[in-house]
Amino acid sequence: MAKSTLFGLYALNAAIASIGIKTSRKTDKHRAWAEINLDNLDHNLSELRRVLPSATSIMAVVKADAYGHGAVRVAKRLYAGGVRFFAVAEIEEAAALRKKGVKGDILILGYTPSDRLEDLIRFNLTQTVTNAEDAERLQAFGKKLKVHIKIDTGMNRLGEPWSHEERILSMYRHSHLIVLGTYSHLAVADSLEPDDVSFTRTQTKRFNDLVERIRDAGLPTGRLHLQSSYGILNHSGLTADLARPGIALYGLLSNDRDRVLADVELRPVLSLKASVTRVAMVRAGESVGYGRSFVASRDTKIASVSIGYADGVPRVLSENGGCVLIRGRRAKIIGKISMDQITVDITSLTDVEPGDTVTLIGQDGDNSISAGEIGRLAGTITNDVLCSIGSRVSRETISLH
């Protein structure tokens, strides 16, 4: 049954009602921080497993520091939950996980330069073969490498085009390449428009037909995988050995107004918070911030907040109606967002003081702001919002288990 999966106020309220979130007040935290709820991560993993065929295992996508959540803590928690396959974008991400003791198979989804190929062996990693020439380069390295073969079925990004059958077959015949998997990527699995659903089916058929021909040639395909988050949520019945959830693992969709077919309850894993540093009055006619972009039309009570665009807050929020939560109520962002500070209008709020907690993403009392809402206001996607949260924002783990 189709279900609207919007991560606005009602979804966040439902997601955390069981743990009794109260209105945030004072904090002794430094500047800005993100809270990572690993119990919600566990829940999302369970939900995704529930909608997938029982024979399909999860390959957790933890690239870009697990979408800003902290790749090491996320991967270790998922491993404890039974996940044995992980995917990252590049060699440095994979090596960093190994150095921190992350176990399991780690697939590098992108290109690894020749001067880093030795690290594939050193850290026991699996490399994507991006096309036929790449296979020849890896073969010329002269040592056994574990690989997954990438097939381009219509995304026109990485992968050998599906129609190049002989070139594809040659990729499986290299003596130094140990083929452990074959995969592709769906271009419009997030869309339920008929033309897009048809294109997804076309990609799937291209992939399955090609896999059959590879096997007919007596070549091993290894584990098969096609679905990322939307492929799971809109095409959960596809037969594959692995599925590669990214954004859905973290409790969100790329666009919070998207609809998906799977009946799932995803819980956001990350909340973003900061502190009130100053409370002041601005008289009617006075301006706030760079460029005098905000001029008070009335006497206005304002609060300075210890977070800015260097921490990942999109500058356009102040122009597009962006808000924060203070003591469970919305406060509008005014003036241009600075590198380290934002200013909010707290005229309608009472008793706001320096040291009060400010929520930019997450729940405070009965109100919430989702990463999807921020993405909409900023003209981007949820993934971008999460990945843009800066490294100087500390990450703090929340877990009852």
Q: What is the token pair recorded at 40?
A: 């919600």
* Alpha-carbon gap, residue 80 to 99, rounded angstroms: 18
Q: What is the token pair recorded at 352?
A: 């706001």
Nearest Cα to Cα of residue 75 among 246, 201, 223, 256: 246
Active site residues: 63, 290
Per domain, the residue ranges of the chain are 38-257, 270-398
User: Percent helix, strand and coil across the chain, each rounded to 5?
Assistant: 35, 25, 40
Mean pLDDT of 373-378: 96
Query: Do the beta carbons of residue 80 and residue 39 sit within 8 Å?
Result: no
Burial of 2 (0-12, 13-18, 19+ CB in 10 A): exposed
Structure confidence by residue, pLDDT tens digits, 82-96: 999 999 999 999 999
Indicate the class that CATH gives domain 38-257.
alpha beta
Is the pLDDT at 231 greater than 80? The verdict is yes
Per-residue CA distances from 365 to 21, 28, 209, 252 (Å): 7, 19, 53, 20
If one counts every other C-beta atom within 10 angstroms of the C-beta of residue 332, the result is 17
Q: What is residue 170's predicted lDDT score, i.e. its pLDDT?
A: 97
Residue 376 marked ligand-binding: no
DSSP alpha helices (H): ranges in 17-161?
Answer: 38-51, 63-68, 71-80, 91-99, 117-122, 132-140
Q: What is residue 11's predicted lDDT score, i.e. its pLDDT?
A: 42
Q: Would you say how long the chain is, in residues?
A: 401
Residue 173 marked ligand-binding: no
Q: What is the mean pLDDT of the chain?
A: 93
Confidence of residue 23 (pLDDT cuts 50, 70, 90): low
Q: Considering the domain 270-398, what is its CATH architecture?
A: Beta Barrel (2.40)
Is the pLDDT at 126 greater than 70? The verdict is yes
Helix, strand, or coil here: 7? coil
Is the pLDDT at 194 greater than 80? The verdict is yes
DSSP for 215-250, written as a single string: HHTT----EEE---HHHHHH-TT---SEE--SGGGG
Confidence of residue 27 (pLDDT cuts 50, 70, 90): low
First to last CA, the chain: 33
Mean pLDDT of 155-176: 96
Helix, strand, or coil here: 95? helix
Structure confidence by residue, pLDDT tens digits, 28-70: 667 999 999 999 999 999 999 999 999 999 999 999 999 999 9
Angle at 126 between CA 122 and CA 127, to 5 degrees: 105
**What residues pair up with 52 in beta bridges, in sequence order?**
none
